């Protein structure tokens, strides 16, 4: 896995898929291959899809109002920290409304449908280069009980969200009972390391993914149904 | 990142560090380099450290008793699923007591101190090969709100647990306020993909890690203090 150089700043209305195709064109160091997975950070997807909203940087309520508008439920609140459930079913800080890596006075909302965002990028790669890639839109989420943030998938296309290994055998030939591996989250987490938070690299290529993982998918594989959730 | 072939079955009392050194010796495809990070699954660490306990496979209470013995707190319980906090401060299913990839009639407990387990492996690599590597002991945990499991770090040595980027600048030159990246968990998650649940590859090598991340560390970087935990 490595970061794609030269994507540059993304602006509202930019055709992100076309920009990625140019950066990963045949003959470049970042030439895409069949079966590669592209990981694209939420920030550039939100920018391209014009999910940018003006806020008053001198008024913290301005940000807070957006957070509440994007939430369907407040999960926890302590001081300035608000953990919410978004319309997508994601549980994250501040409904994913983000002020970092955006210009002062602006906030980036999550894409309305990140699966669709991922699918669009994959479709453009297919149309322009004739090859099939998986696409993951990634974002940085916290989690209970552990410190630090990791990147997770918030949109998937052409790459499994969760791999269901139930019923297959372990290395000792015993049937595995409950092993569902969140491969899209593992790919997003790994790819974060080659993009970084401050280096301005919004796209990574992951090569060598098991071809069986490349299939149609959606975030419903990864977002837990509230009824099944032990922590609701 | 790639999996190390030829480690074979690990048995109680095996010198895991020596076995890894042999598999990654100079001249092999898996030759270790200065600055590599070794990811080692908990299962083989627990086996080598003789954390194996006999259970009665016909009696589910036999497993349950172990789970409760290894827990300091029951976090949630639903049917057969028990989420506990372990003596280490990890919150996970069944106190990490695991029946997969172990022989029938046996359960694997978590290592007593996985930081020490990681440090020992790093020390043996240093002593035998004269090179510095980071070592992560990884295990597979579930998480709230999202389906599927991902690998996380349960022990670290010579590699940062969490990277503290607070106070540094984002790509647009703004100071980032709350960005602590759990790099050890991201490495563990990424490495799971090259080890897999059923392929019997318990060790992966990750190359190309930012050398600044290679420093002394401990799981206290990753385990949230219960007093700070919003979800306690």
DSSP A27-64: TSTT---TT-EEEEEHHHHHHHTT-EEE--TT-HHHHH
Share above pLDDT 70 across residues of chain A, in percent, rounded to a whole number: 96
pLDDT band at residue A197 under the 50/70/90 scheme? low
Contact A17, A124 (CB under 8 A): yes
Residue B219 has pLDDT above 90, yes or no: yes
From residue A190, alpha-carbon distances to A2, A7, A102, A184 in Å are 10, 20, 23, 10
Compare CB distances from A100 to B100, B147, B170 and report the shortest one's residue: B170
User: Among residues 11-40 of chain A, which lie with CB inside 8 Å of chain B?
Assistant: none
Residue B175 has pLDDT above 70, yes or no: no
Beta strand B91-93 with B81-86 is antiparallel
Alpha helices in B40-166 (DSSP H): 42-48, 60-69, 114-129
User: What interface predicted TM-score (ipTM) does this complex get?
Assistant: 0.94
Closest-CA residue to B119 (of B219, B11, B213, B30): B219
Inter-chain residue contact B198 with A1, CB threshold 8 Å: no
Chain B: nearest CA to A20, how far in angstroms?
Answer: 19
Task: Please tell me whether residue B153 adopts helix, strand or coil conformation.
Answer: strand
Number of other CB atoms surrounding residue B76 within 10 Å:
13
Could you tell me if B54 lies within 8 Å of chain A, comparing CB atoms? no
Could you tell me if B173 lies within 8 Å of chain A, comparing CB atoms? no
The pLDDT value given to residue B201: 93
Half-sphere exposure of A23 (CA within 13 A, CB side): 20
Q: Which of A81-85, A159-163, B123-127, B186-190 has the lowest mean pLDDT?
A: A81-85
H or E, element range at B190:
helix B183-195
How far apart CA B121 and CA B114 sit, in angstroms, is 11
The pLDDT value given to residue B226: 79
Residue A58 has pLDDT above 90, yes or no: no
CB pairs under 8 A between A and B: 194
CATH for the stretch B52-110? 3.90.1660.10
The pLDDT value given to residue B178: 61
Alpha-carbon torsion, ordered B193, B3, A176, B98, to 10 deg: -100
Inter-chain residue contact A222 with B148, CB threshold 8 Å: yes
Alpha helices in chain A (DSSP H): 16-23, 42-48, 60-69, 114-129, 183-195
Q: What is the mean pLDDT of chain A?
A: 92
- Tell me the per-residue pLDDT of A89-105, one tens digit each, with 9 for 90 and over: 999 999 999 888 788 89
Beta strand A203-206 with B180-181 is unpaired
How far apart CA A89 and CA A220 sit, in angstroms, is 9
From residue A80, alpha-carbon distances to A2, B124, B178 in Å are 35, 46, 12
Calculate mean pLDDT across residues B86-107.
Answer: 91
Intrachain domains A7-42+115-209 and A52-110 with the same fold: no
Contact A52, A98 (CB under 8 A): no
Inter-chain residue contact A231 with B145, CB threshold 8 Å: yes
User: Hey, what CATH topology would domain B1-44+115-219 get?
Assistant: 60s Ribosomal Protein L30; Chain: A; (3.30.1330)
Residue A176 has pLDDT above 70, yes or no: no
Give contacts of A224 with chain B, Cβ < 8 Å: 144-147
Share above pLDDT 90 across residues of chain B, in percent, rounded to a whole number: 78
Could you tell me if A166 lies within 8 Å of chain B, comparing CB atoms? no
- Tell me the per-residue pLDDT of A13-45, one tens digit each, with 9 for 90 and over: 999 999 999 999 999 999 999 999 999 999 999
Inter-chain residue contact A100 with B177, CB threshold 8 Å: yes
Residue A129 has pLDDT above 90, yes or no: yes
Could you tell me if B182 lies within 8 Å of chain A, comparing CB atoms? yes
Q: Is the dihedral of CA A58, A91, A186, A208 positive or negative?
A: negative
Closest-CA residue to B20 (of B120, B159, B152): B120
How far apart CA B77 and CA B80 sit, in angstroms, is 8
The pLDDT value given to residue A231: 76
Residue A177 has pLDDT above 70, yes or no: no
Contact A140, A196 (CB under 8 A): no
CATH for the stretch A7-42+115-209? 3.30.1330.100
Q: Which residues are within 8 A (CB) of A12 and not within 5 positions of it... i.e. 6 or more apart? A: A47, A48, A49, A50, A52
pTM for this structure?
Answer: 0.95
Inter-chain residue contact A176 with B197, CB threshold 8 Å: yes
Structural domain spans, chain B: 1-44+115-219, 52-110
H or E, element range at B71:
strand B71-78
């Amino acid at each position: 896995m490595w970061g794609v150089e030269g994507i540059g700043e993304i602006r509202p209305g930019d055709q992100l898929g076309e920009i990625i195709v140019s950066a990963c064109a045949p003959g470049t160091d970042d030439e895409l291959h069949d079966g590669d997975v592209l990981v694209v950070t939420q920030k550039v997807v939100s920018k391209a899809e014009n999910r940018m909203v003006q806020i008053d940087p001198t008024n913290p309520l301005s940000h807070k109002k957006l957070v509440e508008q994007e939430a369907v439920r407040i999960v926890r609140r302590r001081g300035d920290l608000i953990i919410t459930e978004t319309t997508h079913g994601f549980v994250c800080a501040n409904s994913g409304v983000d002020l970092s890596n955006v210009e002062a006075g602006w906030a980036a909302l999550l894409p309305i449908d990140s699966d669709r965002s991922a699918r669009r990028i994959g479709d453009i790669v297919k149309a322009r280069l004739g090859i099939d890639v998986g696409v993951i839109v990634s974002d940085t989420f916290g989690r209970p009980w552990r410190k630090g943030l990791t990147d997770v998938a918030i949109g998937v296309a052409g790459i499994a969200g969760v791999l269901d290994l139930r019923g297959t055998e372990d290395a000792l030939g015993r049937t595995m009972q409950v092993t569902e591996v969140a491969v899209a989250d593992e790919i997003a987490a790994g790819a974060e390391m080659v993009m970084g938070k401050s280096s301005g690299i919004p796209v990574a290529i992951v090569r060598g993914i098991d071809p069986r993982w490349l299939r149609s998918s959606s975030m419903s594989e990864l977002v837990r149904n509230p009824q099944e959730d032990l922590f609701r």
